Chains A and B, each alone.
Chain A
Amino acid sequence: MTVSLTLQNVSAHYGPTKVLDDLSLHVGEGELVSLLGASGCGKTTTLRLVAGFLQPTSGTIRLGDRDLTRLPAHARNIGLVFQTYALFPHLSVLDNVAFGLKQRGMGTAQRRAKAKEMLERVGLAQFAERYPANLSGGQRQRVALARALVIEPPLLMFDEPLSNLDAKLRVDMRVEIRRLQRANGTTALYVTHDQEEAFSISDRVAIMNAGRIEQLDSPEVLYSRPANAFVADFVGFENMIPMRAIAEAGDGVRAEMAGGATLDLYRSDFTVPGRDFIFAARPEGLTVAREGKGISARISLRTYLGRAYQYRCNTPAGEIVANGPLSDPLEPGTDVVLVPNPAQCCLLKAESR
């Protein structure tokens, strides 16, 4: 059974503090959506609201055609995987996995068989009789996953499930989570502060800030076409240069920046002459060259990245971080030109923060 999850105009408060501000979110059938943001952005609050551990002050939460908003947490039938794993320390691995089946009134023999089967799927059948204290972090997370999956919930939720694992295991586990979620076709909501994790595992990612969703899109769109300065900064557009379009120039537009320097750019919807906008570029979106068409700059610092050199450059519009080829190392003090590489740059509305 696959269903969709819909949050409509949901607000939530901790005492007088508003932690979620009129949030709407739709997760399609079988889709995995991540909530991504720094701590305090409201992503965990959103998950706790859907789980039923918190009550929204307004708005509705629906799962398929069921209205969850006022349903007690234990009646929601949602599989939840915690950052701390939250395994029951007094129960064996098998009894941990069978816990949800027991609550559903399934007989002992049947639920043990089913739990065992699920443990086999996550490769932990031989640990069934152990206690959680005797398992490694990765194994515990697998048990937590099995425990959430065995009740065959229409919705799976993950609260920073990989934060307590080491880097290598994190990659393995996220592949495994994605594989199991795909195989079951379960709709899933995934909370994380790790951009790489969110982008690699999700169909769509919601970037959250101060209790709102700044942008909800596929990882590809978020990465190349951020909707505003917050998202652009979040996905690595380190340089944000305010500009004003002054004239049409061939297929594009001629823009002027602080200090009077001009730059010819490809056209974007709001770069009509006279309009202010922000030119956003990743360090690799500006190539440091001895000559060419671009922003004039002087190198102040060079660092070695392995795949390229990175330069901090002084320009009339402020400090800009840009990359240059390994074949041509340049010394601090050299006058250079920063040539834009359109694929790694984008234009943002000036009125966005």
Chain B
Amino acid sequence: MPVPAPPTGRRGKNKRLRDRMNPRLFAWVLAIPATLFVALGLGLPVLSTFATTIGEAAGPLQPYIAFFTSGFRRTVLWRTMEVSLITTAISVVVGFATAWVVARAPGRIKSLLIIAAVFPLLTSVVVRSFAWMVILGKNGIVNTALLGLGFIGEPLSMLYTEGAVIVAMVYLFVPLMILTLVGVLEGIPRDLTDAATSLGATPAAAFRQVVLPMAVPGLIVGAVLVFTGSFTSYATPQLLGGERQMMMGTFLYQRAMVTFDWVGASTIAAVMTIVTLATVLVMSRLARKLNPVTG
């Protein structure tokens, strides 16, 4: 008895959208909800921000000229850059060392270490920043300890300094760096470092010539995450830097919510967007240069 052919879909009464469309077009259809969401939730606001800086001002580039000719605004931009770069640099060093230990740890210990690294991410940024106020404050743990041990005669003022902001930001962002790097370092087979060693490479040389270049993609991703996170942060500079150590995020808030200077606030937002975008581009260019295969 002949086996009936499977229904082709075209002959069926209740045709489905999937059956009627060619598969490539259908893939695009599937992407519509997410695309709409991003377009409405991200694209439009960004466009309207840029439109505000151009449309509502005296001249097309006037707000930007005003921004870059103001000494105060340049100081805020420069401070934000500086704090973010230092935070990124420290996170790279600290994160790499930690990730190396985690990646080479045996299974059970590795899971515990990863949980320990992720744990801080489970609490709010505000809480974690506030913790540093308690640690670094006039009557904080550090000052109490130093006073008690007799190293200092009167409490140090550590709050509302660039250093305080950097310390807290490293604490905030280093888990991201660790997680990114653990993934990459785990992907470097032990045979490769063994091979390098057998060919006469000292541990330092094997690290520099094999591990480091292979970790570049992870380093770049981690650095982009930390840098953009630091550059756009609000709660940490607000709590630990205050008015004295104004950064782009806190400055933007002040312009928009305190002085209601919408053009000024939009300009700050636009500058932040451009700087972040430029950083990502420079970093990925750097990655390709450092590691021609994986970058």
Contacts and interface: CB of A to CB of B under 8 A. Distances in A.
Interface of A: 51-53, 73-80, 82, 84, 86-90, 99-100, 102-104, 131, 133, 147-148, 151
A86 B201 CA distance: 14
Given A90-B291, A90-B294, A103 B191 contact: no
A86 B192 CA distance: 5
A82 B201 contact: no
Contacts of B210: 88, 90
A88 B201 CA distance: 13
Interface in B174-220: 189, 191-192, 194-203, 205-206, 209-210, 213-214
B194 A51 contact: yes
A80 B195 contact: yes
A86 B191 CA distance: 6
Given A74-B203, A82-B191, A131-B293, A89 B214 contact: yes
Chain B interface SS verdict (over half): helix
Nearest to A132: B293
A104 B200 contact: yes
15 contacts: A74-B200, A74-B205, A75-B200, A77-B200, A78-B198, A84-B191, A86-B189, A86-B194, A86-B195, A88-B210, A99-B196, A100-B200, A103-B200, A148-B198, A151-B199
A75 B291 CA distance: 28
A80 B191 CA distance: 11
Contacts of B205: 74, 103
A52 B209 CA distance: 20
Nearest to A99: B199
B7 interface: no
A80 B245 CA distance: 57
B192 A88 contact: yes
A147 B293 contact: no
Given A74-B203, A103-B199, 18 more contacts: A53-B194, A53-B197, A73-B194, A74-B206, A84-B189, A84-B191, A86-B189, A86-B192, A88-B196, A90-B213, A90-B214, A90-B292, A99-B196, A99-B209, A102-B209, A103-B200, A133-B293, A151-B200
A84 B194 CA distance: 12
A156 B281 CA distance: 46
A79 B189 CA distance: 19
B191 A74 contact: no
Interface residues of B, number: 23
Nearest to A131: B293
A-B complex: 9 closest residue pairs judged by Cβ atoms: A100-B199, A103-B200, A86-B191, A86-B195, A80-B198, A73-B197, A90-B213, A74-B197, A103-B201
Contacts of B191: 82, 84, 86
Given A90-B291, A90-B294, A133-B293, A74 B195 contact: no
Interface of B: 189, 191-192, 194-203, 205-206, 209-210, 213-214, 291-294
B198 A51 contact: yes
Contacts of B203: 74
B272 to A, nearest CB: 34
A103 B196 CA distance: 9
A236 B214 CA distance: 46
A82 B200 contact: no
Interface centre among A51, A77, A86 (most CB of B within 10 A): A86
A160 to B, nearest CB: 12
Contacts of A99: 196, 199, 201, 209
B198 A79 contact: yes
Contacts of B213: 90
Nearest to B212: A90
A148 B209 CA distance: 17
Contacts of B291: 90
A74 B194 contact: no
Contacts of A103: 199-202, 205
B198 A90 contact: no
B34 to A, nearest CB: 32
B84 to A, nearest CB: 28
Contacts of A52: 197
Contacts of B202: 74, 103
Nearest to A102: B209
Given A88-B210, A89-B294, A133-B293, A74 B192 contact: no
Contacts of A82: 191, 194-195
A220 B292 CA distance: 51
Contact of B293 (A74, A77, A78, A89): A89
Nearest to B206: A74
Contacts of B197: 52-53, 73-74
B126 to A, nearest CB: 42
A80 B197 CA distance: 10
Q: Determine which residue in A75, A80, A87 has the highest number of CB atoms from chain B within 10 A of its CB, and name it.
A: A80
Nearest to B210: A88
Contacts of B189: 84, 86
A50 B150 CA distance: 55
Contacts of B192: 86, 88
A100 B209 CA distance: 12
B200 A90 contact: no
A74 B202 CA distance: 6
A104 B118 CA distance: 42
A233 B294 CA distance: 48
Contacts of A84: 189, 191
A79 B198 CA distance: 7
Contacts of A89: 214, 293-294
